[in-house]
Amino acid sequence: MKLFVSTLRREIDDLLKKNVKLKAIGNLEDLPETAYEELMYGIERTVHNTGLTLNLALSYSGRQEILEAVQAIAHKVKTGLLQPEEISEQVFSAHLHTYDLPDPDLLIRTSGESRVSNFLLWQLSYTEIYVTKTLWPDFRKQEFYDALLNYLNRERRFGKVSEQIAQNATG
């Protein structure tokens, strides 16, 4: 966490200059006090930035996120704020940590690992996954370019088969 704090302090002015908004998901209250305070300071300083969003997953668990969403929805049903038949994908998504972010289009998995590791379990349902054997510390522009090129050459189907995509395109 010392590295995290020193990196935030070093990079915050650059984030401001480049119009990057800093966000974070996870059980942030579980972070050490200094790390939590520095993170909140960075988020507050960049709250009005409108360019890219840098979203950090800290003390994050996809299963815990889903469990918390279910508990919040159950509480709303119990108190009458929500009817069971009103629960939809949109309602569920609105109770996740990423409620205000789009689902990822591409997940780059380094180190040759072919699993999602309890990460964004709901949000990754239609995400394209690119696996590289390159270790994260060695991941550079060329590896990123390779991942993007691979992604651009894919057919995004969002749960459909190619024939359904072709049929929708012809109308």
Residue 143 has pLDDT above 80, yes or no: yes
- pLDDT category at 171 given cuts 50, 70, 90 is low
Q: For residue 155, which phi and psi values (nearest 5 degrees)?
A: -95, 110
Alpha helix (H) ranges present in the chain? 2-17, 33-46, 62-78, 89-93, 141-152, 162-170
Q: Measuring CA to CA, which residue among 96, 34, 90 is closest to residue 68? A: 96
For 140, counting Cβ atoms within 10 Å of its Cβ (0-12 exposed, 13-18 middle, 19+ buried), the class is exposed
Q: Which two tokens stand for residue 68?
A: 């918390």
- Chain segment 23-70, per-residue pLDDT in tens: 999 999 999 999 999 999 999 999 999 999 999 999 999 999 999 999
State residue 167's pLDDT score.
74
Q: Measuring CA to CA, which residue among 81, 132, 75 is closest to residue 106? A: 132
- Chain segment 108-138, per-residue pLDDT in tens: 999 999 999 999 999 999 999 999 999 988 9
